Homo-oligomer: A and B are copies of this chain.
Amino acid sequence: MRPEEEQSQCGVPVNLDASPGCEFCRQSGGEVLWRDEKCRVVLVADPDYHGFCRVIWNAHVKEMTDLARDEQQHCMRVVLSVEQVLRRVLKPHKINLASFGNMTPHLHWHVIPRFEYDAHFPQTIWGDRQRSAPPAAPAETGLQLRELLATMLARNYP
């Protein structure tokens, strides 16, 4: 799929000054809940982890310390807004935050609501599976997350 096609399908402007073959330069990475010119928040389609979001920097940047100071702050404000919204909507036992990029070295943050009954708790979701995944969550949760995220980011970080 060419970037132009991806752009027209999901409405996310693709970074054309991108790294060839980079998944997050070519694709949105999930259902886009919110975006601005710097980054986007996507809902990850993971059947084990309902509400799992990623904050993906739009430009192909490897590490947080490759960003300017104000960009670092902007990125973390968005990450923590997602944390706040997930806590409010889903009331998880714990939030997990992580930026790895070992396989896809394009700056992105995992923001994962964790529950004591989820597939890996108390391990990380990259650890050994502990049990079956919990039942699927209500279909309207994506909509709730999208609406609250838009409200919160507009209010807190105009």
List A residues at the B interface (Cβ < 8 Å). 62-65, 72-73, 76, 80, 83-84, 87, 94-103, 105, 114, 121-124, 126-127
Which of B63, B96, B103, B121 sits near A95, CB closer than 8 Å? B63
**Besides A72-B76, A100-B124, A126-B127, 15 new A-B residue pairs in contact (Cβ under 8 A), listed by A number:** A62-B94, A63-B83, A63-B95, A65-B83, A73-B73, A73-B76, A76-B76, A94-B100, A96-B100, A97-B97, A97-B100, A98-B100, A98-B124, A102-B114, A102-B122
Assess the A102–B83 pair: CB atoms within 8 A: no
**Contacts A83-B63, A87-B63, A87-B65; A99 near B102 (Cβ below 8 A):** no
A79 to B, closest residue via Cβ: B64
In Å, the complex CA distance between A84 and B123 comes to 28
Assess the A94–B101 pair: CB atoms within 8 A: yes
**Contacts A80-B64, A87-B65; A103 near B122 (Cβ below 8 A):** yes
In Å, the complex CA distance between A76 and B99 comes to 13
List B contacts of A84 (CB < 8 A). 65
